[in-house]
């Protein structure tokens, strides 16, 4: 039985003060939802304050990125050792990291292994561009991203990983993928690839989120697909009705 999981990805939004005010406003509402795990993946500078504000809450805390080293001469980077006291999860390989900061599959793989070594659970993001989608390359591309990101990761570690499938053309655009599109790729490009790598038993235990313009009004549709186990939510996680979104995601 996979416990569904909806994670908010705030991206580069909210000051520390705004972050604390916001989580204090929504935490009771989120705690009242049963049958769904939720998390906020917040800017690194807000991790200590948000973790403190959520210390008595069931809502998990995540980072949005981390360095591929533990310490040293890496100006501007933040290491897994630094985020560990505050973060349960870390998003790795988000398409914005890949596009604007040149993150490769190999780097995502390195970071995933390091996060796991520090008991931080990776949310590994994958997804194709509009051009790849239109060229019919989605299946091969996403499956390739998954294989590369998971290279050398043991079954025991795999069981701690969450995969987020986010078609790039659906992120922040209001152009959400249809349930059939998203569920189809999640099944054939993600879960079947996991089954190929780790066996079907393991693949059936891995949580796979959909991401891309998920809102309170469409989450239930996604959750109705048997292979979609939650969502990675950008814009809609910055608003108080994120509580409604999470509640609407609970399937009967
Ligand atoms: P969005 O972002 O919900 O604003 O489309 C999703 C994401 O990038 O994780």
Residue indicated by tokens 């973790």:
51
Per-residue pLDDT at 40: 99
Q: What is the mean pLDDT of residues 5-28?
A: 98
Per-residue pLDDT at 175: 87
Higher-pLDDT residue of 177 and 18 is 18
- Identify whether 25 is a catalytic site residue: no
Domain count, the chain: 1
3-class secondary-structure state, position 7: strand
How close is the Cα of 232 to the center of ligand 1, in Å?
Answer: 7
Tens digit of each residue's pLDDT (9 = 90 or more) over 215-245: 999 999 999 999 999 999 999 999 999 999 9
> How far is Cα 18 from Cα 239, in angstroms, rounded to an integer?
12
Q: Strand runs (DSSP E) across the chain, as ranges?
A: 5-9, 37-41, 60-63, 89-92, 121-126, 162-165, 207-211, 230-233
Has residue 247 got a pLDDT over 70? Answer: yes
From 209, 230, 233, 239, give the residue whose CB has the most ligand 1 atoms within 8 Å, as the site to mutate: 233
| CA 128 to chain CA mean position, Å | 16
Residue 126: give the domain boundaries.
Answer: 5-250
User: 89, 55 in Cβ contact below 8 A?
Assistant: no
Q: Which atom of ligand 1 is nearest to the CA of 237?
A: 3
CB atoms within 10 A of CB 130: 13
pLDDT over 90, % of the chain? 96
User: 228, 4 in Cβ contact below 8 A?
Assistant: no
Per-residue pLDDT at 252: 60
Has residue 134 got a pLDDT over 70? Answer: yes
Decide: 172 in ligand 1 pocket, CB within 6 A.
yes
Q: What is the mean pLDDT of residues 21-27?
A: 98
Q: Which atom of ligand 1 is nearest to the CA of 232?
A: 9
| CA 92 to chain CA mean position, Å | 8
Tens digit of each residue's pLDDT (9 = 90 or more) over 148-192: 999 999 999 999 999 999 999 999 898 889 999 999 999 999 999
pLDDT over 70, % of the chain? 100
Residue nearest to atom 9 of ligand 1 (CA): 234
> How far is Cα 250 from Cα 55, in angstroms, rounded to an integer?
23
Q: What is the mean pLDDT of residues 4-16?
A: 98
How close is the Cα of 230 to the center of ligand 1, in Å?
Answer: 13
Name the average pLDDT for the chain: 97
Write the CATH number for 192.
3.20.20.70
Is residue 25 exposed (0-12), middle (13-18) or buried (19+ Cβ within 10 Å)?
Answer: exposed
Rounded alpha-carbon distances, angstroms, from residue 155 to 32, 88, 142, 197: 33, 19, 20, 9
Q: Which atom of ligand 1 is nearest to the CA of 9?
A: 9
Decide: 126 in ligand 1 pocket, CB within 6 A.
no
> How far is Cα 186 from Cα 196, in angstroms, rounded to an integer?
14
From 8, 213, 231, give the residue whose CB has the most ligand 1 atoms within 8 Å, as the site to mutate: 213
- Identify whether 37 is a catalytic site residue: no
Per-residue pLDDT at 251: 84
pTM of the model: 0.98
> How far is Cα 105 from Cα 139, in angstroms, rounded to an integer?
16
Decide: 213 in ligand 1 pocket, CB within 6 A.
yes
């Amino acid at each position: 039985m996979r416990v569904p999981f909806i994670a908010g990805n705030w991206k580069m939004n909210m000051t520390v003060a705004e972050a604390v005010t916001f989580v204090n406003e929504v935490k009771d509402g989120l705690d009242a939802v049963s049958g769904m795990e939720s998390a906020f993946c917040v800017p690194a500078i807000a991790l200590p304050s948000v973790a403190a504000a959520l210390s008595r809450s069931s809502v998990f805390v995540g980072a949005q990125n981390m360095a591929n080293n533990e310490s040293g001469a890496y100006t501007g980077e933040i290491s897994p050792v630094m985020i560990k006291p505050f973060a349960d999860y870390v998003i790795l390989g988000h398409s914005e990291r890949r596009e604007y900061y040149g993150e490769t599959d190999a780097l995502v793989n390195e970071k995933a292994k390091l996060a796991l070594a520090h008991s931080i659970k990776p949310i590994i993001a994958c997804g194709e561009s509009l051009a790849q989608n239109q060229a019919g390359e989605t299946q091969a591309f996403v499956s390739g991203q998954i294989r590369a990101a998971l290279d050398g990761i043991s079954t025991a570690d795999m069981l701690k990983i969450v995969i987020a499938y986010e078609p790039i053309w659906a992120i922040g655009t209001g152009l959400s993928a249809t349930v059939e599109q998203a569920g189809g790729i999640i099944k054939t490009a993600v879960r079947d690839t996991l089954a190929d790598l780790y066996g079907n038993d393991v693949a059936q235990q891995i949580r796979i989120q959909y991401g891309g313009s998920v809102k309170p009004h469409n989450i239930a549709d996604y959750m109705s697909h048997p292979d979609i186990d939650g969502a990675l939510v950008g814009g809609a996680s910055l608003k108080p009705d994120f509580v409604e979104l999470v509640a609407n995601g609970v399937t009967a």
